[in-house]
């Protein structure tokens, strides 16, 4: 059986076009294009949902039912995890849940999964880190910082590393799982004969994009809620 050469394997981030800004050469990559498409799609759905809710009737249609089901599911997820703190963060958690989920399933629509780029997942981890530290200082004042010297001052480096590695581990977990799916699909499409590229990849997409994508979205948001909630009490 003849397979394609390894040179045909395609799962890398690619530059699409370049431009000059502030004396630097900058590239628009497949990641930026994927993120732009995901953002536009989410905005369109949000506008449609907003208009539909304003025109809601006694007998809701299919789209309205889906929107209400999604909102209720997200509300239950945040309330069940954060308790009385849920009201403050339900909008943020709902936003990143939808954003990450749409990024993760982008491979179903021919996009290179944006969350298969560590730059994307790293910034999501940075947002989590900033929120966690802000809530810690807001609710505990200077005690949030001095707590890292407890129970013994000598443990400060370990406690500091723990604070930093929490969002970093989130970013790496999401990136690693989604990148593995990108690599698997790239190897399949790049190295398999043409007759096994029809039909069979759909099962791989179901696992790599849908199943793994949903699980990793849930895990990222759940860890974010746990870390934030820990600083609220």
Supply the mean pLDDT for the chain.
Answer: 86
Name the band, by pLDDT with cuts 50, 70 and 90, for residue 187. Answer: confident
> What pLDDT is recorded for position 3?
41
> What pLDDT is recorded for position 105?
92
Name the band, by pLDDT with cuts 50, 70 and 90, for residue 8. Answer: low
Res. 9: pLDDT tops 70: no
pTM over 0.85: yes
Name the band, by pLDDT with cuts 50, 70 and 90, for residue 5. Answer: very low
List own/partner pairs for 216-219 with CB under 8 A and 24 or more apart.
216/100, 216/104, 216/115, 216/173, 216/174, 216/177, 216/178, 217/97, 217/100, 217/101, 217/104, 219/173, 219/174
pLDDT tens-place string over residues 36-63: 999 999 999 999 998 888 887 777 788 8
């Amino acid at each position: 059986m003849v397979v394609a050469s390894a040179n045909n394997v395609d799962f890398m981030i690619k530059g699409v076009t370049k431009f000059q800004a502030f004396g630097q050469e900058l590239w628009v990559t497949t990641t930026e294009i994927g993120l732009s498409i995901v953002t536009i799609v989410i905005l369109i759905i949000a506008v449609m949902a907003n208009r539909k809710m304003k025109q809601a009737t006694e007998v809701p249609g299919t789209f309205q039912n889906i929107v209400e089901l999604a909102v209720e599911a997200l509300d239950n997820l945040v309330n069940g995890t954060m308790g009385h703190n849920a009201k403050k963060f339900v909008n943020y958690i709902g936003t990143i849940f939808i954003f990450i989920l749409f990024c993760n399933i982008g491979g179903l629509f021919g996009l290179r999964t944006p969350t298969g780029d560590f730059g994307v997942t790293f910034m999501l981890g940075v947002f989590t880190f900033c929120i966690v530290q802000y809530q810690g200082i807001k609710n505990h004042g200077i005690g949030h910082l001095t707590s890292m010297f407890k129970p013994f001052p000598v443990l400060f480096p370990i406690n500091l590393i723990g604070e930093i590695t929490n969002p970093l581990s989130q970013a790496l977990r999401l990136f690693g799982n989604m990148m593995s799916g990108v690599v698997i699909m790239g190897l399949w499409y790049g190295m398999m004969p043409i007759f096994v590229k029809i039909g069979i990849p759909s099962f791989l997409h179901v696992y790599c994009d849908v199943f793994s994508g949903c699980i990793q979205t849930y895990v990222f948001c759940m860890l974010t809620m746990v870390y934030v909630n820990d600083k609220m009490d």
